[in-house]
Amino acid sequence: MMKTASRTALAPVLGLALALCATACMDPDAPGNLVPATVEDDPSLPRIEVNGTTLHAEAFGDPSAPMIVMLHGGPGGDYRSLLPYRALADDGYYVVFWDHRGSGLSRRHPASSYTLDLYLEDLRQVIAHFSSSSAQPIVFVGHSWGAMYATWFIDEHGDYGGRVAGAVLSEPGAFTSDGLEDYLARLLPPWGYTSEELNDVLWSDQFMSPSSQARADFMQAIKVLPGSPREHNDPNNPAPFWRKGAVVNFRIMELALDRGFDWTTHLGGFPHKVLFLRGELNENMPLAHQQELASHYASSEVITVLGAGHDAIWEKQAEFLFHIRAYLAEVGVAPMLRLGGAR
């Protein structure tokens, strides 16, 4: 009887709440309500049109200067945490940022539309879009998946007709499908029934299913936000992001593992030194792991950044900029001189 009475007393309250929600609650599928709007729905966002899609992208510096192509993590991440490296534009470089297809604030696509060939071609066309000449030097700076993406491009295109003068790779996960499976086994350990990660996933699944890409991206953010404990990212200084791309994350990984890949076949012929930067604290990518990946290049160096985990590129920006600048000087990619001869 007490339960019946309670339900009777609550009925008007629930009815009022539902009525208010009908007029005041936001539709989670409406652009910008649950997660930030993409370039399709927010005309204020900088964008480019390449290869049949619309990408959230922008560049800083002199368009004729040597080009630094920034490649974010994921698949499905965005370039928000890489924006501090706009400082390289002040040095005299042309710094290009872009959210990959289906990632960040770029246009979303059905899972069936993605292919590995299409994804690799996106990078080539982004380079072409921002290039001022066919001889403009390029250096990649890639983090995690972005470092893998850069290596994939180099393995396929070599130095791209003499244009790719180098690469700075921040903790790539793997260069082969076997290596990726091993890395994922370290990255995604089995969750315990009382773990915070599992509770986060189950909590979100109680209230919504990924019936739209906005909902899927929201759930993806909840699931990946804690990160892997073994990566030892600073919980008090998390790398910022706009939006995660859930569909592209799953699809690119699925395609890569199902088809198999080996992006080391031609790396030995790349004629320039490649710099690997890693966080000291990341147990998922110990020094030996990064040294093994680096060994596939003819010339490489691995530098450990102390006191940081996988997100060292965000947590230790000053150190990264120091090493990037030294590397650019070493491989002979000189910045554009400013008026009066100052850089």
Q: Give the Cα-Cα-Cα angle 100, 74, 324 (nearest 5 degrees).
A: 85
Q: What is the pTM of this model?
A: 0.87
In order of their start, the domains of the chain are 47-185+245-334 (3.40.50.1820)
The answer to whether 36 and 50 are in contact (CB under 8 A) is no
Name the residue type at position 339: L
Could you read off the pLDDT of 217-239 as tens digits, one per residue? 998 888 777 678 899 999 999 99
Closest among 72, 121, 117, 123 to 99, alpha carbons compared:
72
C-alpha distances (whole Å) from 224 to each of 10, 136, 188, 319, 330 are 37, 37, 11, 26, 37
Could you read off the pLDDT of 68-115 as tens digits, one per residue? 999 999 999 999 999 999 999 999 999 999 999 999 999 999 999 999
Higher pLDDT, 145 or 339: 145
- Cα 193 to the center of its chain, rounded Å: 29
d(C-alpha 33, C-alpha 23), whole Å: 15
Residue with tokens 């604030």: 105
